[in-house]
Amino acid sequence: MEKLFEKAISVSDLCLTYGNFKVLDQVSFDVIKGACTIIMGGSGCGKSTLLKSLIGLLKPKAGHVLIEESDLWHASNSARQKLLRKCGVLFQGGALWSSLNILENLSLPLQTHTSLSEKEIKELACYKLSLVGLTGFEEFYPSEISGGMRKRAGIARAMILDPSIIFLDEPSAGLDPVNSRRLDDLINELKQSLGVTFVVVTHELASIFEIGDHSIFLDSSSKSLIAKGSPKDLLKNCEINEVQSFLQRKG
């Protein structure tokens, strides 16, 4: 009997534009709860544009984005914000406040969105930093830690409100191979230990095969989704030239 997977996100017939310029058309796919889904494709294929629509930053021209069965873009503003509270985001570079230390960066969302005491906020922020291996770096500023550590701090901040889904935009960008592998290991650990659902935009082959349970491939020429499946299965079985060229490239 075929195993039925619970959907964290369901995207159907999504059309994304900037003004009159069409970026993606008729895109449909599911994100499985507790798994890591990779959004991949060549430059200019619409990966980051798709991510913007999934996290509430770009309204689609047409189509639907369902987060745990609730329609993100056909909900009221208050209902949309409630849905987005289920999501955490790591933007490129970590996007930490440079004027705040790491502990303060993690505390800010809790101060804004919860009624926790300062003691409870500090304890929770320290706990999330411990999950990403940054215990002892609470008082450091972003400029005082490495790029890999900033990415881990960014993930900790993305997790601070206990989201069920975390979106990562090019998490390995700018990292050396060792730190990139450490970040991949962290994503796998969080997925397995906490059951977090990840949606990751990346072009890094090593990361795609290491963390990706599922993937979708966007094509810039047709402005559409042309393949989906696990990265390893696509490499082995997909006969589409664009997909094979992407997955077989060196580095």
State the DSSP H helix or E strand holding residue 10, giving kind and residue range, or none if neither.
Answer: strand 7-18
In a domain, 123, yes or no: no
In a domain, 120, yes or no: no
In a domain, 108, yes or no: no
Euclidean distance between CA atoms 89 and 159, whole angstroms: 8
Which residue range(s) make up the domain with 249?
Answer: 1-86+164-174+197-251
In a domain, 118, yes or no: no
Q: What is the pLDDT of residue 94?
A: 65
Q: Is the pLDDT of residue 4 over 60?
A: no
Q: Is the pLDDT of residue 3 over 70?
A: no
The answer to whether the beta carbons of residues 205 and 30 sit under 8 Å apart is no
Half-sphere exposure of 217 (CA within 13 A, CB side): 24
What DSSP assignment string belongs to 111-137? HHH----HHHHHHHHHHHHHHTT-TT-
Q: What residues contact 206, with CB distance under 8 A and at least 6 apart?
A: 177, 180, 181, 184
Q: What is the pLDDT of residue 93?
A: 63
pTM: 0.91
Give the torsion sign (CA, 32, 38, 44, 48). Answer: positive
Return the C-alpha torsion angle 55, 160, 189, 57, nearest 10: 10
In a domain, 76, yes or no: yes
> Percent of the chain beyond pLDDT 90?
76
Q: Indicate the number of domains in the chain.
A: 1
In a domain, 47, yes or no: yes
Pairing of strands 36-41, 197-201: parallel
Pairing of strands 7-18, 224-229: unpaired
Please list, residue by residue across 73-112, b when 16 or more beta carbons sit within 10 angstroms of its beta carbon and e when fewer do.
Answer: beeeeeebeebbebbbbbbeebebeeeebbbbbbbbbbee
In a domain, 117, yes or no: no
In a domain, 62, yes or no: yes
Tokens 């507790």 — which residue?
Answer: 34
CATH code for position 215: 3.40.50.300
pLDDT confidence tier of residue 30, bands split at 50, 70 and 90:
very high
